[in-house]
Amino acid sequence: MTTTAAVAQPAETNEYRGGLSRVLSVARLHYTNKATVFTIPALILTGIFAVNLAIWAIIYNSVPVADRGDVSEGLQWSGSTFYIFVYTFVIAVQAINVTFPFALGYGVTRRHFALGTALALLGLAAVYSVALTVVASIERATDGWGFGGRMFTAIYFPANTWYEFLFVYFAYFALFFFTGAFFAAIYSRWRIIGLLLSFLGLAILIVATLATIGAAQAWGELFAYLGALPPLGFVAWSFVPTAIAAVAAFLVIRRATPKG
Amino acid sequence: MTSVIEATSLTKRFGAVTAVDSATFSIEKNTITGLLGRNGAGKTTLMQLLTAQQYATSGTVEVLGATPVENAATLQQISFIKESQRYPDDFQPRHVFASAPWFFPNWDAAFAERLIADFRVPLKRRIKKLSRGQVSAVGVIVGLASRAPITFFDEPYLGLDAVARQVFYDRLLEDYAEYPRTVVLSTHLIDEVSNLLEHVIVIDDGRIIVDEDADSLRGRATTIAGPASAVERFVASREVLHTERLGGLATATIGALGEADRAEAATLGLELAPVSLQQLIIRLTTGESTPPAAVPAGTEQRA
């Protein structure tokens, strides 16, 4: 072999582009296919909304005017937006499960992958929250799109102002993203066995907590505390499991290896 | 020459299986090294250890003078294309080629364009729906166009047809000549790549059994052919790897020959030919005492 003869320029890059740049590249990697993270969820949500709108119109036109207030109250139990949170969970699972081995092939460290992914998920949570806050505000301003319909201001979103909606949506999206990330990290590292054991561990943890509360005869106190909590305070508590899931996912992925 | 990869007593166990067993070797800067071995010999695991995708059970790896494990400065210089590479489910080839430059500072977009045309990769089809060969082509294009100082190709061309493989070899050599870099290529299509390789590492059952310059490896054995009686006379006092006989003619594979040996062979009217790298490695990895599985009728063999 004599091909080394013609040397044009050394290929080696001694310049190290810095951790932040790598983290941002990983975050960007998750947004490469815009359809997955923006177009598809928007389209499906629009579809669900259209069906809801049709149903609201049918109900609106078939009940006496006097009962319309009751109908609107009943509609607040709408779970139509639940899909978007499930989709959120799936995005997080895919972001780790499939993109992790892919990113390693690009020469990314696990640390940069984890940080970049967290950044990407927080970014998506922010964008989704803003989008839903906008439609929730329209829903309120138009008194349920003219039919007393409730989808984005359902009872599960205990908010009265736009910034409260923003807060609640963000908290929920973050919760779904990072619990998804947690289980995907477990799967990436220990496969199905790890997943089963983590479900088991979680179940034991919950039962043990309930048993402890019971043994301390603290149920009354707890309900009194939760009952006294303002709805937003209740939502704020979700940041505890979200943060635990995020930190745990980070630690788990730090030693994960790509499989098969 | 300076080495860019140094492995010392590198070992990886998965439970009871020792995938890489105390491997010690180094790879020189700006060379093309063939990592050869049978399926399951440990090629992929070894590459995963060198690229920090797997953690070693014991032993050390140094890449560019430092451990690659969670070392961003080192890993940024590495491109690792493996046959089993998974892509995000929703990715199309255009997404791969759009995102790769964010990670490889030396990415050459024009070169990538040319390779896309060479390999006829459809850009706007989900990778899941591509043929095996097209998926391989995506990896090959990333590996070449990334121009990473250290590039690993692990069986990069599964499903690629002969034309596409030749395109790969040609582009690799052209680009390597212009932009020298360290390439480690694992394959079992040994004859196809043997002209590319400057250095050969053979791994068998997790152990490194050959770590040698390709040229000296090729010189390790010679095939002689001629009248059976002459061949027999010539090999009588020499170490024989393999012989075959067909009627009155015979061929024998023997060890390295010196000047005097060559002269003697010439006087006996024997023809000398180099042994192909593939033949040599088959001999080395099947154990010299094991006869080849299929022996054509009318031939006999000695070992």
Count of A-B CB contacts under 8 Å: 123
B109 and B258 both lie in a single domain: no
pLDDT above 90 covers a percentage of chain A that reads 76
Q: Is residue B294 part of a domain?
A: no
Q: What is the pLDDT of residues B180-199, one digit of tens each?
A: 999 999 988 898 998 899 99
B229 and B182 both lie in a single domain: no
pLDDT tier, B137 (very low <50, low <70, confident <90, very high otherwise): very high
Among the partner residues B86, B100, B176, nearest to A98 by beta-carbon distance: B86
Whether chain A has a CB inside 8 Å of the CB on B151: the answer is no
Residue B139, pLDDT > 60, answer yes
B198 and B65 both lie in a single domain: yes
Distance (Å, rounded) from C-alpha B23 to C-alpha B147? 27
Range of the domain at B257: 221-286
Counting every residue written for chain B, the total comes to: 303
Q: Is residue B302 part of a domain?
A: no
B136 Cβ contact list (under 8 Å, min separation 6):
B83, B156, B157, B158, B159, B160
B3 Cβ contact list (under 8 Å, min separation 6):
B26, B27, B28, B29
B256 and B159 both lie in a single domain: no
B157 and B267 both lie in a single domain: no
Q: What is the pLDDT of residues A228-257, one digit of tens each?
A: 888 899 899 999 999 999 999 999 999 999
Structure tokens at B105: 């500072």
**Average pLDDT score over residue span B57-64:** 96
- Per-residue b or e along A50-64, where b marks 16 or more CB atoms closer than 10 Å to that residue's CB: eebbeebeebbeeee
Among the partner residues B72, B147, B173, nearest to A22 by beta-carbon distance: B72
**Average pLDDT score over residue span B121-150:** 95
Domain containing residue B105: CATH number:
3.40.50.300
Domain containing residue B257: CATH number:
3.30.70
Radius of gyration of chain A from Cα atoms? 23
Distance (Å, rounded) from C-alpha B299 to C-alpha A184? 59
Pairing of strands B78-82, B150-154: parallel
B239 and B212 both lie in a single domain: no
Q: Is residue B303 part of a domain?
A: no
Q: How many domains does chain B have?
A: 2
Indicate the pTM of the whole model.
0.88
Q: Is residue B51 part of a domain?
A: yes
Residue A78, pLDDT > 50, answer yes
**Average pLDDT score over residue span B82-91:** 88
Q: Is residue B292 part of a domain?
A: no
Note which residues in 247-286 of chain B have CB less than 8 A from chain A: none
Distance (Å, rounded) from C-alpha B217 to C-alpha B223? 14
Contact state of B82 with A105 under an 8 Å Cβ cutoff: yes
B198 and B233 both lie in a single domain: no
pLDDT tier, B1 (very low <50, low <70, confident <90, very high otherwise): low
Residue A99, pLDDT > 60, answer yes
Q: Is residue B295 part of a domain?
A: no
Residues of A in contact with B3 (CB under 8 A): none
B247 and B211 both lie in a single domain: no
Do B256 and B220 form a contact (C-beta atoms < 8 A)? yes
Distance (Å, rounded) from C-alpha B12 to C-alpha A259? 15
Q: Is residue B21 part of a domain?
A: yes
Average pLDDT, chain A: 90
Q: Is residue B297 part of a domain?
A: no
Residue B113, pLDDT > 80, answer yes
Nearest CA in chain A to B195: A1
* Least confident segment among A11-20, A157-166, B46-55: A11-20
Q: What is the pLDDT of residues A1-36, one digit of tens each?
A: 444 444 444 444 444 567 899 999 999 999 999 999
pLDDT, residue B280, reads 85
Residues of B in contact with A29 (CB under 8 A): 99, 102
B83 and B231 both lie in a single domain: no
Among the partner residues A8, A109, A111, nearest to B178 by beta-carbon distance: A8
B201 and B247 both lie in a single domain: no
B198 and B273 both lie in a single domain: no
Contact state of B196 with A1 under an 8 Å Cβ cutoff: yes
Q: What is the ipTM metric for this complex?
A: 0.86
